[in-house]
């Protein structure tokens, strides 16, 4: 790829602008004046060491707390599956259809608001927006433990979706404003692995909390909601101090470190976007971009499968364990025993999925082959759900849940990284002299006129992709019906279709289309797109500039 980059640089340097004797200026980030470089005069080795320490500082300050937030978020939205096997449906007198409706209503409010949340994140600042929504959904979760009927649970689930809508797209966008393209994937994978940990931890926690049955006159399933909701409120309150704003104003960084972060983002054709003004051009640029829709299709397959898997699995494990008990432990079989062990059986598949999610993020960052990674893990999921469909053995079914988790969880973070990498910025630095501009009045803030305009487009694109994917929860939360016990053929078949048609099929289609487009750009077929344009007009084209090489 470095050789191809050299070819593009040479071709661009020889191109003439229409009606001008001067070369077309593709490097719209070039400084008009000297840049205040905090590392000027240092050797390359010293600069590399400073950069390594800076990234380590960012990782320690940002990633652990954000992972905790998403662990809590995913735990709170899916613990209803654990509550079900501890008697939620029976105690509230709900039919199978009503229970599924409580799952569906969450995804309606959650998905409808997601495309808008990144705009709110920018307006209110991360250190304000994220803690507020966390406290809100913690209150909703606590209220779920106080309801007495179907209507109350429906209302609580609706507002839970409203409050939780901003976290995942917001953090996805937020991290992309801190890290370079080839650093983003592994961080996104670590962040999303918290969802798999939540599935594992949720089973253990639910098994323990369910033992509080009848304490304070509350059922065990009610205590699951109450205690987890109160914990969320506490963590949300702490987030006012633990969540930081964008790099331009992050208080844990010195002025020199802020400069370094912004310089390395500019070198990767990005900006932190803290002070970028929203324009409808960014919205329409996202809506008109074909990659928005192919990414949405892929994420549709990932998220549809994810919610089916995470919401139904406690019941599925109960079925698997029931079968194992019948075959091997019939003399100690009991309802409470089976319920608790079913919760515990959910732990290992999620733990394996968490490890693989991080591994795939690392591999995709190093190889720049996110599409191939998506295709490979999709095959794991396809085999796993084929085992669930085709076997009557509880042991084989349980093994299938491992492969199912391995096929779903890594693809979520990898797909988001893929979409982010291919929106606005670039993977490969074609212009090594790119430099950010700093204002005299505020030495660590970029001048607006010189910023790359596509960060808002990235935020809109991620909102659309994630919102459409999460809307699939309305479908997959209804495919595992109580009437289909014990084999759940319609549910397993639907998830298998999502994996084959959307997750795998969409990845193949997008990979081929991106590969062909890269070939056209490398041949110079797209150079005519910028004939006669000035630097600002070229800048506004974002990832549609002919020098932008897509991640495959």
- pTM (predicted TM-score): 0.77
**CB-count exposure of residue 22 (10 Å: 0-12, 13-18, 19+):** exposed
pLDDT value, residue 342: 62
Q: What is the spatial distance between Cα 458 and Cα 452, in angstroms, rounded to a whole number? A: 11
Instruction: Check pLDDT > 80 for residue 339.
Output: no
Decide if pLDDT at 140 tops 80. yes
Beta bridge partners of 304: none
Mean pLDDT of 528-544: 73
Looking at mean pLDDT, say which of 95-109, 296-310, 493-507 comes out highest. Answer: 493-507
Question: For residue 311, what pLDDT is reported?
Answer: 67
Residue 505 has pLDDT above 90, yes or no: yes
Q: Is residue 64 part of a domain?
A: yes
Using pLDDT thresholds of 50, 70 and 90, give the confidence band for residue 374: very high
The two structure tokens encoding residue 106: 């969450």
Assess if residue 387 is contained within a domain.
yes
279: confidence class by pLDDT, cuts 50, 70, 90: low
Asked if the structure places residue 233 within a domain, the reply is yes
Mean pLDDT of 355-368: 92
* pLDDT at residue 343 in the model: 61
Highest-confidence segment of 318-322, 332-336, 494-498: 494-498
* Residue 430 in this model has a pLDDT that exceeds 60: no
Q: Are 301 and 501 in contact (CB under 8 A)?
A: yes
**CA–CA–CA angle 486, 489, 495 (5° rounding):** 125
Radius of gyration, CA atoms only, the chain: 25
Residue 447 has pLDDT above 50, yes or no: no
Confidence of residue 195 (pLDDT cuts 50, 70, 90): confident
Q: Residue 450 above 80 pLDDT? A: no
Mean pLDDT of the chain: 79
**Domain around 145:** 54-426+439-527+535-544
Predicted confidence (pLDDT) per residue in 5-34, tens digit: 455 545 544 543 333 333 333 343 433 333
Q: Indicate if the pLDDT at residue 322 is higher than 70.
A: no
- Over pLDDT 90: what percentage of the chain? 32
CATH of the domain at 312: 1.20.1250.20
Exposed / middle / buried, residue 208 (Cβ in 10 Å: 0-12, 13-18, 19+):
middle
Q: Please, which residues bridge with residue 16 across strands?
A: 23
Among residues 471, 478, 466, 491, the alpha carbon closest in space to that of 102 is found at 478
Note the pLDDT of residue 324: 47
| Structural domain includes residue 390 | yes
Average pLDDT over residues 464-472: 89
Query: What is the model's pLDDT at position 25?
Result: 37
pLDDT at residue 68 above 60? Answer: yes
* Beta carbons within 10 angstroms of residue 159's beta carbon: 19
Average pLDDT over residues 113-118: 81
Residue 17 is assigned to a structural domain of this protein:
no
43 found inside a domain = no
Q: Is the pLDDT of residue 185 over 70?
A: yes
Residue bearing tokens 């969540």: 243
Residue 452 has pLDDT above 50, yes or no: no
Q: List the alpha helices (DSSP H) in 86-166.
A: 88-91, 96-124, 126-144, 150-164
Question: Which range has highest mean pLDDT (354-363, 424-433, 475-484)?
Answer: 354-363
The pLDDT > 70 percentage for the chain reads 78
Residue 177 confidence (pLDDT) above 60: yes
Average pLDDT over residues 260-273: 69
If you search the block for the tokens 């391995």, which residue do you land on? Answer: 406
Query: Is residue 46 in a domain?
Result: no
Give the per-residue pLDDT at 58: 93
Q: How confident is the model at residue 498 (pLDDT cuts 50, 70, 90)?
A: very high
What is residue 162's predicted lDDT score, i.e. its pLDDT?
92
Of 163-172, 291-300, 371-380, the poorest mean pLDDT is in 163-172
Q: Is the pLDDT of residue 433 over 50?
A: no
Q: What is the 3-state secondary structure (H, E, C) of 263-301?
A: HHHHHCCCCCCCCCCCCHHHHHHHHCCHHHHHHHHHHHH
pLDDT above 50 for 427: no
- Check: CB of residue 482 under 8 Å from CB of residue 469: no
Query: Is the CA virtual torsion 456, 459, 461, 463 positive or negative?
Result: negative
Question: Span 528-552, mean pLDDT?
Answer: 76
- Residue 434 pLDDT class (50, 70, 90 cuts): very low
Is pLDDT of 43 > 50? yes
Domain count, the chain: 1
pLDDT at 506: 95
Which pLDDT score, from 0 to 100, does residue 529 have?
79
Tell which wins on pLDDT, 234 or 168: 234
Q: Is residue 4 part of a domain?
A: no
Task: pLDDT band for 398, please (50, 70, 90 cuts).
Answer: confident
């Amino acid at each position: 790829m470095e050789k191809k980059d050299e070819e593009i640089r040479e071709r661009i340097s020889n191109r003439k602008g229409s009606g001008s004797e001067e070369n077309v200026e593709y490097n719209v980030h070039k400084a008009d004046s000297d840049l205040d470089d905090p590392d000027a005069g240092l050797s390359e080795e010293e600069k590399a060491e400073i950069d390594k320490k800076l990234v380590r500082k960012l990782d320690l300050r940002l990633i652990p707390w954000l992972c905790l937030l998403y662990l809590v978020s995913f735990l709170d939205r899916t613990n209803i599956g654990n509550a079900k096997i501890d008697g939620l449906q029976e105690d509230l007198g709900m039919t199978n259809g009503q229970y599924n409706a409580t799952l569906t209503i969450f995804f309606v409010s959650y998905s409808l608001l997601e495309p808008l949340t990144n705009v709110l994140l920018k307006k209110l600042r991360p250190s304000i927006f994220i803690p507020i929504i966390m406290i809100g959904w913690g209150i909703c979760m606590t209220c779920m433990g106080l309801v007495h009927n179907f209507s109350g649970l429906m209302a609580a689930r609706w507002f839970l979706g409203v409050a939780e809508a901003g976290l995942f797209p917001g953090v996805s966008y937020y991290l992309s404003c801190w890290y370079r393209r080839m650093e983003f994937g592994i961080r996104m994978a670590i962040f999303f692995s918290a969802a798999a940990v939540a599935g594992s931890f949720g089973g253990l926690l639910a098994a323990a909390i369910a033992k509080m049955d009848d304490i304070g006159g509350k059922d065990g399933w009610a205590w699951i909601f109450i205690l987890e909701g109160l914990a969320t409120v506490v963590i949300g309150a702490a987030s006012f101090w633990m969540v930081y704003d964008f790099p331009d104003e992050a208080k844990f960084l010195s002025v020199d470190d802020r400069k370094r972060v912004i310089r390395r983002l500019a070198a990767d054709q990005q900006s932190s976007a803290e002070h970028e003004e929203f324009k409808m051009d960014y919205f329409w640029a996202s809506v008109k971009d074909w990659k928005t829709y192919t990414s949405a299709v892929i994420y549709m397959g990932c998220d549809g499968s994810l919610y089916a898997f995470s919401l139904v699995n406690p019941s599925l494990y109960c079925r698997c364990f029931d079968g194992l008990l019948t075959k091997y432990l019939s003399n100690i079989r009991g309802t409470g025993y089976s319920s608790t062990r079913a919760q515990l059986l959910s732990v290992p598949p999620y733990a394996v999925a968490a490890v693989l999610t991080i591994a795939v993020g690392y591999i995709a960052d190093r190889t720049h082959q996110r599409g191939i990674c998506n295709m490979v893990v999709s095959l794991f999921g396809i085999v796993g759900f084929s085992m669930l469909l085709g076997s009557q053995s509880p042991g084989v079914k349980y093994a299938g849940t491992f492969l199912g988790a391995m096929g779903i969880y890594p693809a979520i973070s990898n797909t988001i990284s893929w979409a982010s990498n291919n929106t606005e910025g670039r993977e490969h630095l074609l212009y090594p002299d790119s430099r950010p501009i700093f204002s005299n009045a505020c030495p660590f803030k970029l001048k607006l006129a010189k910023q790359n305009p596509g960060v808002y487009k990235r935020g809109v694109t991620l909102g659309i992709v994630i919102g459409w994917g999460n809307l699939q929860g309305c479908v997959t939360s209804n495919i595992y019906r109580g009437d289909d016990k014990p084999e759940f053929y319609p549910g397993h078949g639907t998830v298998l279709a999502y994996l084959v048609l959307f997750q795998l099929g969409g990845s193949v289609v997008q990979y081929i289309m991106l590969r062909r487009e890269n070939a056209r750009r490398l041949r110079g077929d797209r150079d005519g797109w910028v004939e006669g344009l000035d630097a600002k007009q070229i800048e506004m084209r974002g990832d549609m500039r002919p020098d932008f090489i897509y991640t495959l």
